């Protein structure tokens, strides 16, 4: 299943929230394997999720999506509560904003399709931070460089699966080739539908400029409650308009300057006196 | 403890009787549990996203970046102004001073950009690749080229006062021409830089940002040149008026547009007030002062123009700071990237919670 350096198949994650038990083993495994720094003991006060979001020191992040409780009778406990867990990670976009934006070439595409940040090249310009439509990349202010999920490139190169997928006790995090997992995902969603979970769906925004992601998610209900944007766009789509406006601005600058000087009298004589 | 709750009223008394009769009839009371008003349970829902936590990361640039935008805009415009003053033969001293302003600005820009990096010692890594798809990469190359040529032009200017030989003059001419060519994008590319990002308020305005920043830079470049001793140049006053008029139009355009959700950071909050103040200071105020200066006598005119210049510079700086802050506010607004409409004024979150959740009916496992 895992790719070897010779096969060079595009690999992917399929994170299935219907199987996730919220144990956070993936977060721990990721931190241990990648030796990520501590991100403090901050209580969010929102749910059992105290990590909050994927960032420079948390490359996996389990979301605790608590649905609306139905009010109980006469002040008793709530009748029902939907409780979903979903392990979030860098999406390794097909058309990645961070990769396009990086001015140093620190961010590269690996042979198995991962978007990899080379920490020995990153100079901490933090342009990738604002270029990511999923808010994944973040600069470590202490260190100065940006960090993100490496898709365990070091492990994948020697034929091992990523640490999070290996540590997952329920196979909520599946790892395999992208083509296979896309097929598996459709099958899984169909099966969930037949089991009555009609709100289960696959999150893989292939119809946007991101053109699909290498870590897909199966979620129940609206993906927006998992902080998954319905229309992520790679920021390079705005460049055409931007450079056209830039050319227009340059033209305006030159035209206005030329007009102003041509319309004004020569100032040679007085200036010579000043010199 | 409010006394109101203790006063028996017909409404509260009848409610108590209703509860009693319901308990007698059904053996239980069907009512919502206690929900403290204004303190809803944190719940992830299609209306609240993921607990209202922002999806996007805020920009992590430090104060150097807006100042870099400001200095770069002025330096790039100064190079173009100087070159045009030279080519039209209208104002040689202005052309000379513009070379120094452009070179000084390029030097300062580079210092600001390098010090903003998380790893300043690695700034040269920017020049190990050229990526047309990255506005930051294109910008780094524009800055490098602009810095080289404007520096060479300034150096040639210094050398030519000592040794006035044709090779120095020719090199100086060439360097000035090239610094003007790179000055054109350098004065406004920062609009593309922030526009081509995932931050909604920036990418939403990418069609106007480069023009806005370019005109702001021109305004500032003119003002700096006036303050270094060209406050008598009619061309500069005309040009400054032109830039101020464009900025007035831009400010009017932003203010009058009716898409309040994405552009809200430009109008509300701290970022809104900075952007607005910057807009007033770089648009209508200098425009009025420059008009007055064009119509008044020499000494009054110079005083008015100095005032216009200082105000324009402040406005230009505030404009950049305001736009960067607006980007921060926009990144914090979790509703926009999730495409969640803002709740209307009347509805509160408590009411929203009491409505029945749309939970799916679980069927028996068919397998």
ipTM reported for the complex, 2 dp: 0.90
Stated length of chain A? 275
Q: Which of A68, A138, A226 to mutate to test the interface with B (most CBs of B within 10 A)?
A: A68
**What average pLDDT does this structure show over A254-261?**
95
Chain A residue numbers touching B42 (CB-CB < 8 A): 45-47, 66
Tokens of residue B307, six digits: 């005032």
Q: Which residue has the higher pLDDT, A75 or B167?
A: B167
Say what the pLDDT of residue A70 is: 62
Say what the pLDDT of residue A138 is: 96
Q: Which of residues 14-43 of A touch B (CB under 8 A)?
A: none
Q: Which of A58, A118, A227 to mutate to test the interface with B (most CBs of B within 10 A)?
A: A227
Q: Which residue has the higher pLDDT, B163 or B58?
A: B58
The crossing angle, in degrees rounded to 10, of helices B284-295 and B269-282 is 10
CB contact under 8 A, A47 and B51: yes
Burial pattern B124-162, b for ≥16 Cβ within 10 A else e, equals ebbeebebeebbbbbbbbbbbbbbebbbbbbbbbebeee
The answer to whether residue A144 neighbours chain B at the CB level (below 8 Å) is yes
Burial pattern A181-215, b for ≥16 Cβ within 10 A else e, equals bbebbeebbeebeebebeebbbbbbeebbbebbbb
CB contact under 8 A, A248 and B238: no
Confidence tier at B361 by pLDDT (50, 70, 90): very low
**What average pLDDT does this structure show over B195-210?**
95
Summarize pLDDT for B36-76 with one digit per residue, the tens: 444 456 777 778 889 889 999 999 999 999 999 999 999 99
Query: Which of A74, A233, A242 comes nearest B28 by C-beta?
Result: A74
In the three-class reduction of DSSP (H, G, I as helix; E, B as strand; rest coil), residue A86 is classed as strand
Considering only B116-125, B171-180, B208-217, B250-259, which range has the smallest mean pLDDT?
B250-259
Say what the pLDDT of residue B123 is: 93
pLDDT beyond 90 at B366: no
How far is B51 from chain A, CA to nearest CA, in Å? 7
Confidence tier at B18 by pLDDT (50, 70, 90): confident
Chain A residue numbers touching B246 (CB-CB < 8 A): 252
Say what the pLDDT of residue B367 is: 38
Q: Which of A63, A250, A265 to mutate to test the interface with B (most CBs of B within 10 A)?
A: A250
Chain A residue numbers touching B54 (CB-CB < 8 A): 53, 135
CB contact under 8 A, A242 and B210: yes
The answer to whether residue A69 neighbours chain B at the CB level (below 8 Å) is yes
Say what the pLDDT of residue A270 is: 47
According to DSSP, the residues that pair with B33 across neighbouring strands are none
Q: What share of chain B is helix, strand, coil (3-state, %, to 5)?
A: 70, 0, 30
In the three-class reduction of DSSP (H, G, I as helix; E, B as strand; rest coil), residue A12 is classed as strand
Is the distance from CB of B55 to CB of A135 less than 8 angstroms? yes
Say what the pLDDT of residue A26 is: 95
Chain A residue numbers touching B53 (CB-CB < 8 A): 46, 52-53, 227
Chain B residue numbers touching A132 (CB-CB < 8 A): 56-57, 198
Largest CA distance in chain B: 111
CB contact under 8 A, B43 and A275: no
Residue of B nearest to A192 (CA): B365
How far is B26 from chain A, CA to nearest CA, in Å? 12
Nearest to B91 by CA among B301, B239, B219: B239
pLDDT beyond 70 at B1: no
Largest CA distance in chain A: 94
Most confident of A42-46, A74-78, B269-273, B339-343: B269-273
Considering only B9-23, B209-223, B298-312, which range has the smallest mean pLDDT?
B9-23
CB contact under 8 A, A235 and B42: no
CB contact under 8 A, A125 and B356: no
In the three-class reduction of DSSP (H, G, I as helix; E, B as strand; rest coil), residue B172 is classed as helix
pLDDT beyond 60 at B355: no
The per-residue pLDDT of chain A, averaged, comes to 89
CB contact under 8 A, B184 and A250: yes
Chain B residue numbers touching A104 (CB-CB < 8 A): 122, 125-126, 128-129
């Amino acid at each position: 299943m895992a790719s070897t350096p010779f096969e060079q198949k595009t690999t992917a994650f399929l994170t299935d929230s219907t199987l996730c038990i919220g144990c956070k083993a993936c977060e721990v495994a990721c931190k241990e394997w990648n030796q990520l720094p501590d991100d403090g003991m901050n209580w969010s006060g929102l749910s059992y999720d105290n990590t909050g979001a994927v960032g420079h020191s948390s490359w996996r992040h389990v979301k605790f999506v608590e649905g609306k409780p139905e009010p109980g009778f006469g002040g008793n406990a709530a009748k029902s509560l939907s409780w979903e867990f979903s392990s979030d990670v860098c999406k390794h976009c097909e058309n990645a904003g961070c990769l396009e934006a990086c001015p140093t070439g620190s961010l590269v595409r690996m042979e198995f399709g991962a978007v990899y940040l080379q920490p020995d090249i990153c100079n901490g310009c933090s342009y990738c931070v604002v270029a990511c439509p999923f808010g994944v990349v973040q600069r470590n202010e202490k260190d100065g460089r940006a960090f993100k999920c490496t898709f365990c490139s070091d492990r994948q190169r020697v034929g091992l699966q990523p640490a999070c997928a290996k540590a997952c006790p329920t196979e909520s995090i599946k790892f395999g080739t992208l083509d296979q997992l896309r097929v598996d995902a459709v099958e899984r969603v169909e099966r969930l539908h037949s089991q009555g979970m009609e709100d289960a769906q696959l999150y893989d925004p292939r119809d946007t400029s991101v053109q699909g992601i290498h870590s897909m998610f199966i979620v129940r209900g609206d993906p927006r409650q998992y902080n998954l944007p319905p229309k992520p766009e790679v920021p390079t789509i705005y460049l055409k308009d931007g450079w056209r406006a830039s050319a227009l601005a340059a033209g305006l600058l030159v035209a206005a300057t030329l007009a102003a000087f041509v319309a004004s009298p020569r100032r040679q004589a007085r200036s010579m006196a000043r010199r | 403890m409010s006394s109101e709750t203790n006063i028996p009223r017909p409404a509260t008394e009848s409610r108590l009787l209703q509860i009693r009769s319901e308990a007698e009839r059904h053996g239980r009371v069907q009512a919502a549990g206690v929900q403290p008003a204004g303190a809803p349970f944190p719940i992830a829902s299609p209306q609240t996203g993921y607990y209202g936590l922002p999806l996007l990361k805020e920009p992590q640039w430090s104060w150097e970046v807006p100042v870099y935008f400001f200095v770069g805009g002025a330096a790039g415009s100064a190079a173009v102004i100087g070159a045009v003053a030279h080519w039209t033969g209208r104002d040689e001293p202005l052309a000379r001073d513009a070379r120094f302003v452009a070179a000084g600005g390029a030097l300062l820009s580079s210092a600001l950009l390098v010090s903003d990096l998380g790893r300043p010692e690695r700034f040269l890594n920017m020049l190990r690749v050229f990526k047309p798809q990255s506005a930051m990469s294109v910008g780094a190359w524009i800055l490098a080229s602009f810095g080289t040529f404007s520096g060479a032009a300034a150096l040639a200017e210094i050398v030519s006062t000592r040794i006035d030989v044709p090779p120095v003059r020719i090199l100086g001419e060439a360097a000035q021409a090239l610094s003007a060519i790179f000055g054109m994008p350098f004065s406004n590319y920062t609009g593309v830089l922030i526009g081509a990002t995932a931050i909604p308020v920036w990418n939403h305005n990418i069609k106007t940002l480069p023009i806005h920043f370019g005109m702001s830079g021109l305004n500032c470049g003119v003002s700096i040149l006036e303050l270094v001793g060209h406050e008598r140049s009619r061309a500069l006053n005309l040009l400054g008026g032109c830039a101020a008029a464009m900025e007035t139009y831009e400010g009017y355009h932003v203010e009058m547009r009716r898409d309040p959700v994405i552009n809200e950071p430009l109008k509300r909050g701290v970022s809104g007030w900075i952007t607005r103040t910057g807009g007033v200071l770089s648009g209508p105020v200098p425009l009025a002062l420059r008009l007055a200066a064009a119509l008044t006598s020499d000494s009054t005119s110079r005083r008015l123009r100095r005032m216009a210049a200082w105000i324009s510079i402040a406005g230009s700086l505030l404009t950049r700071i305001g736009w960067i802050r607006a980007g921060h506010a926009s990144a914090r607004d979790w509703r926009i990237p999730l495409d969640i409409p803002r709740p209307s004024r009347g509805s509160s979150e408590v009411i929203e919670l009491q409505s029945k959740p749309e939970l799916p009916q679980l069927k028996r496992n068919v397998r």
